[in-house]
């Protein structure tokens, strides 16, 4: 792991994760979930293999969790991960950071700034979670 990545992980833990906790999220890097009355909100942090780029991907599933389409395996809301969500469409998950072209770039001098940009993008995520159709109810 690069020292720049380590520095960003520190910034995520100090700046972003407290905001997620305030919003009701549980979990630990890189996967978090929040149980709501009608759904479970998911967020995942993914470092690029090809440089100093972080993707923040979100999705949601039923309040009871997710059942994989191919295997029929049920995953509880506490264990389901963003990358597992399919729901018949690749559009049942998305990346936040529209002002950043769906990615957050960083270097050793910008990790706190990058973390603050992610905090700002959480409002974008909230809008998506609350307005994007609950695809599992669309039968």
Q: How many domains does the chain have?
A: 1
Q: What are phi and psi of 65, to 5 degrees?
A: 110, -150
4, two tokens: 């720049």
Q: In a 10 Å sphere around its CB, with 0-12 CB exposed, 13-18 middle and 19+ buried, how is residue 120 labelled?
A: middle
- In a domain, residue 71? The reply is yes
- Residue 7 CB: number of other CB atoms within 10 A? 18
- In a domain, residue 70? The reply is yes
- In a domain, residue 10? The reply is yes
- What's the whole-number average pLDDT of the chain? 89
99, two tokens: 């002002």
**% pLDDT > 70, the chain:** 93
d(CA 46, CA 56): 6
Domain of residue 122, residue span = 3-131
On whether the pTM is more than 0.85, the answer is yes
């Amino acid at each position: 792991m690069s020292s720049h990545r380590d520095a960003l992980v520190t910034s995520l833990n100090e700046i972003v994760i407290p905001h997620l906790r305030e919003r009701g999220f549980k979990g630990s890097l890189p996967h978090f979930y929040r149980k709501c009355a009608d759904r479970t909100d998911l967020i995942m942090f993914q470092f690029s293999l090809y440089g100093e780029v972080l993707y923040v991907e979100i999705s949601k599933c039923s309040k009871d969790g997710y059942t994989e389409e191919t295997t029929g395996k049920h995953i509880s809301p506490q264990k389901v991960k963003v990358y597992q969500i399919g729901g018949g469409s690749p559009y049942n998950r998305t990346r936040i950071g529209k002002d950043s072209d769906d990615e957050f770039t960083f270097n050793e001098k910008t990790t706190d700034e990058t973390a603050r940009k992610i905090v700002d993008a959480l409002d974008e995520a909230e809008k998506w979670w609350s307005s994007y159709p609950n695809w599992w109810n669309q039968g």
